[in-house]
Structure 1
Amino acid sequence: MKLPDGPRISPALQLILTLFRPLETLEEYQKRYGDIFRSNLIGLGQFVVLSNPQAIQEIMTADPKVFESGSANQLLHPLVGDNSLLLLDRDRHQSQRRLLNPAFHGERMRAYGKLICDITEQVTNDWAVGKSFIARPTMQKISLRAILRAVFGIDEGERFEEIQRLLCEMLNTFDSPLKSSFLFVKALQKDLGAWSPWGKFVRKREQVDKLIYAEIQERRQQPNLNGEDILSLMMSARDEAGQPMTDRELRDELMTLLFAGHETTASALAWALYWIHKLPKVRDKLLQELASIGEDKDPSEITRLPYLTAVCQETLRIYPIALFTFSRILQAPFQVMGYDFEPGTRFSPCIYLTHHREDIYPQPKQFKPERFLERQFSPYEYLPFGGGNRRCLGMAFAMYEMKLVLATILSRWQLSLADNHPVRPIRRGVTTTPAGGVRMVVTGKVSQTSRVRSEAIAN
């Protein structure tokens, strides 16, 4: 079968469109070229974009040895380093996943429940009726403190205040489509001094590194490492030869967890607050469900609420934070949907286009949490955290955190959008985020009386 077609415009123009009009460009390409098409971005090369669940399943369920993924995602290297789980393949990738997996599942994850609720209360305590705030940076404070506690076992003290501040400043280097180009175009990654964009990023990264290495050295001097945090877990681990992780390996994995563990969740929470307060029916239904479990809400009970879960799922469907799963580079001849591909082909399953298929999600532009109560979707139809052996390790943790943060905020505060204008996604580095961060206004504090009234309505 003839290989799939794709846009004929220059790779430079394709990159510009990808940076500045990511959703519209993808939709135009799919409409013109179908579920499988080729694209070519300057500096990144050619890749095959897929949004057909059958094609995605064929790739995700293939022998992992047929693909390399780490080498296909080198644009993340400046953020996470050589030894990041995101950039590893084969045995090293599998062993690191096995090491980190327990930290984000089971009892260890559930132990973070009260902590997440407490952090949310602390961050929102200074809200006042009539005052406005921007949702995304506020949610970033919450998600960053939560992942710092999970990773280090502590989120207080001068060192951790500095890590929080510098990490946010470092990632804000890429907080617009134009600034994101520094990640996509290697030729722009030149340190021309402290005032140059890349130079500023490099210096922030060096400062974060210094703080992380200081923490590692301090831990190494302790007689035993019995902590429940992820750093203690990694420092206690030994490879097949009995060797511990090096400082550099620890640093790269910590940077990966800090970056991936809070940036995406902050944007997802901002989107959730936007949709909940843009659609009164969604907000009312959610408030009734929360009221049905009483005032002293147990975290495990909150996370089992079906409508709250559906709201989070629909938030991640309509505007997924990552538009693509991790790319995979073919290592041997392979067939997908009848097409024969040669080694060296790079596949990029598109989360956004898959989530907007009319045949799977009728009226895909509408925010309808009910669709997740009416049917289950396969992991090749709904994949906000990627899939296969590269699926996000923190998926369960992210969903757990989203539900608890939203429940805590909605149970304590009455909010509204500062204006009713539609908010569109814009690029922020390798992810997308709500343009403007979603400005909101505090309209009231939930009183005991209103809680009782809500419970009566719910019952």
Structure 2
Amino acid sequence: MTLPPTVSTPRLLRLFKFIFYPLDYLEDYYQKYGDIFAFGRSETPFVYISHPQAIKEILTRDKNIFKSAAGGGFLSTLLGDNSLLFLQGERHQRERKLLTPPFHGERLQSYAQLIYAISHRVIEKLEINQPFNVRKVMQEITLQVIMKAVFGIREGERYQQLKELLTSWLSFFDSPANAAIIFFPFLQKDWENSSPWGRFLGIKAKIDELIYTEIKERRQQENYGGNDILTLLMLAKDEVGNPMNDQELHDELITLLIAGHETTASSLTWALYCIHYYPEVAEKLRSHFSILENNGDLLEIIKLPYLDAVCSETLRIYPVVLSTFLRVLQTPLDLMGYHFKPGTAFAPSIYLVHHREDIYPNPKQFRPERFLERQFSPYEYFPFGGGSRRCIGMELAKMEIKIVLFTMLSNYQFKLCSSRPLKPVRRGLTVAPPNNFKMIISQNS
């Protein structure tokens, strides 16, 4: 058996296109090579795959014959070696069990009112009939949610310090040019304030100090009375009675911050854009909200089928992460008529699957009704990844998006400043709306 079609473009040109034109990068190769294509001419290539049945085989056999390849390099520097994303085997299972309870059931629902209050407070500060930067507002909301629901830090000096540092740190890779530092290790020179990488590490060191101080003080005071996620993780114990240590707590908090702040802000920005680029969607949402406005039950609102469909369609057409984490093969595998050796790296492509014409007719069109007309398998629709590596904060993110949209659309009117379609741009390891996207807010008539 032969290997899949191999991309012949020189590596440097591929990398340039991957950084500056990530969607064209995927779509062009898909058009040329189809459902599966490889990079590298070794016997263990890097393989992109966008066939749902093949992705099902990979994700359902995840624990047995694949190893996640998320660790090392830039991501380890960013998140820490104890991040759930990097752990393997029994340690991964232990950490996932400890992290799961705060993100489900009543624990999760307890954050609904907090998200609503934060959204309302941020939106009401906007100047009526004036343009506002959508992404910055969405970032403000999602950062406050993370600070209070996840970190459990109350407003005060430390809250303000951490908020300012996090804002500065997370905006570091807000353009494709800055993102190049991620992909070219030779640019990662720690010359303190004299180099971009040095400044990045300097800010991170200050953030680390504040988080470790918060953890230390809570342990000393035995201050475990809150329902924030940090408190719940400090109380959690594994099957043999061991709690998470300070470094594990720190690394998981940073992971939740990166995964839950930037990505949710991007999805909210896309949602607000799509809803108003297609005015019939905004009208339909508002009519749904008006039915429930009087009872104010947030848990009923987030169950609205059409609101759920709008969120699902947003995440389909604009997934923030284009592929799942790499799966590195540990044993020989036959897949789609090809034979792969151990060491082959697979990248199931979320974006390409979400834009398959045979699954989503007219895939570039924003049409929430798709998700009311049929159910899609977790191998046809997987914006939060899949298998044992699916995002643990998925339900919190979906709930946050729904509540923020309800808060905004039930209290205010919004209008696009331009009729030109938005084009996604690279933002670090993710793909996001452009930073200069603006809308105008006005009072409900």
Quick check: TM above 0.5?
Answer: yes
Aligned pairs for 1:16-415 within 5 A: 16-39=16-39, 46-71=45-70, 74-223=73-222, 225-239=224-238, 242-415=241-414
Verify the 8 A CA contact 2:71 2:85 in the aligned structure 1: no
Deviations 1:107-128 (A, max 9, x none): 0010111110100011112112
What letter corresponds to residue 17 of structure 1 in structure 2?
Answer: K
Deviations 1:357-401 (A, max 9, x none): 000000001111111111110000001000000000011111110
Verify the 8 A CA contact 1:137 1:437 in the aligned structure 2: no
Partner of 1:455: none
Q: CA–CA distance in 2 between the matches of 1:70 and 1:267?
A: 25
Q: CA–CA distance in 2 between the matches of 1:342 and 1:75?
A: 27
Deviations 1:184-222 (A, max 9, x none): 222221112303110111011011111101101111111
Verify the 8 A CA contact 2:116 2:404 in the aligned structure 1: yes
SS in 1 for 2:378: coil
Aligned pair count reads 443
What letter corresponds to residue 403 of structure 1 in structure 2?
Answer: K
What letter corresponds to residue 318 of structure 1 in structure 2?
Answer: I
SS in 2 for 1:403: helix
SS in 2 for 1:332: coil
Verify the 8 A CA contact 2:134 2:439 in the aligned structure 1: yes
Structure 2 spans left out of the alignment, 5+ residues: none
SS in 2 for 1:220: helix
Q: CA–CA distance in 1 between the matches of 2:154 and 2:318?
A: 30
Partner of 1:454: none
CA 1:154–1:259: 2 relative to 1, 3 Å: same
Deviations 1:46-99 (A, max 9, x none): 510011001100000015131111455754212101000111111111111111
Q: CA–CA distance in 1 between the matches of 2:222 and 2:279?
A: 56
CA deviation after TM superposition for structure 1 residue 227, in Å: 3.0
Q: Which moved more, 1:403-412 or 1:237-246?
A: 237-246
Q: Which moved more, 1:304-313 or 1:242-251?
A: 242-251
Verify the 8 A CA contact 1:6 1:29 in the aligned structure 2: no
Structure 1 spans left out of the alignment, 5+ residues: 451-459
Verify the 8 A CA contact 1:269 1:402 in the aligned structure 2: yes
CA 1:264–1:384: 2 relative to 1, 3 Å: same
Verify the 8 A CA contact 1:314 1:368 in the aligned structure 2: yes
What letter corresponds to residue 302 of structure 2 in structure 1?
Answer: T
Verify the 8 A CA contact 2:98 2:237 in the aligned structure 1: no
The alignment status of 1:445 with 2:432, answered yes or no, reads: no
Q: CA–CA distance in 2 between the matches of 1:73 and 1:320?
A: 24
Q: CA–CA distance in 2 between the matches of 1:70 and 1:337?
A: 22
RMSD: 1.7
Calculate the TM-score normalised by the size of structure 2.
0.96
Q: CA–CA distance in 1 between the matches of 2:421 and 2:311?
A: 19
What letter corresponds to residue 409 of structure 1 in structure 2?
Answer: M
